[in-house]
């Protein structure tokens, strides 16, 4: 995992759970910490291994934050483009330590409001299609069974 992946996952986990300014301050804290440790001569991979899973860090931040469920705040984070971790995005394809290229993957976080909404909408579409399918199949099946029944009655 790279610094940008770490910060992206942390940002994704905190977005919508904390105010935008709180999320930005936590992201900046970890970005500055990683940069400071790199300047001390440590490897990025060692620093990230020491920090651990960004999802667990985000969960800890949300659990300990008094305003963790404000869901949307009109505050904006104002930083120059040099200060933001978004200013140096990781490419869609990156070279791993083994020399192979790997595609950066994205995932949908179902713990956010839009993830939950997507699941609800998907379930509604599946139920709708199921009712449409059953609405077509039941009358067709009834007609087929009626025809089979009448044919078997007239053969006797």
- In the prediction, which pLDDT does 156 show? 72
Cα–Cα–Cα angle for 76, 73, 120, nearest 5°? 125
Q: Which residue has the higher pLDDT, 112 or 124?
A: 124
- In the prediction, which pLDDT does 64 show? 86
In the chain, where the domains are located:
3-107, 109-156
Q: What is the mean pLDDT of residues 104-124?
A: 80
Say if residue 108's pLDDT is above 50.
yes
- To the question of pTM greater than 0.85 for the whole model, the response is no
- In the prediction, which pLDDT does 36 show? 94
Q: Provide the β-strand partners of residue 93.
A: 103
Distances in Å between the Cα of 67 and the Cα atoms of 19, 21, 63, 110, 116 are 8, 12, 10, 21, 21
What's the pLDDT tens digit per position in 135-153?
999 999 999 999 999 999 8
> Would you state the structure tokens that stand for residue 54, as one six-digit string?
């960004």
């Amino acid at each position: 995992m790279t610094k940008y992946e770490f910060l992206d996952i942390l940002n994704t986990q905190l977005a919508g759970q904390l105010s935008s300014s709180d999320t930005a301050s936590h992201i900046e804290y970890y970005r500055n910490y990683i940069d400071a440790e790199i300047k001390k001569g440590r490897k990025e991979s060692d620093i990230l291994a020491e920090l651990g899973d960004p999802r667990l860090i985000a969960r800890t931040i949300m659990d300990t934050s008094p305003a963790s469920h404000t869901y949307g705040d009109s505050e904006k984070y104002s930083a120059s483009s040099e200060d933001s971790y978004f200013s140096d995005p990781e490419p869609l394809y990156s070279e791993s330590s083994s020399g192979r290229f790997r595609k950066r993957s994205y995932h949908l976080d179902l713990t956010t409001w839009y993830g939950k909404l997507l699941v609800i909408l998907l379930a509604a579409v599946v139920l709708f299609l199921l009712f449409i399918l059953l609405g077509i199949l039941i009358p067709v099946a009834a007609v087929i069974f009626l025809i089979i029944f009448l044919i078997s009655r007239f053969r006797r």
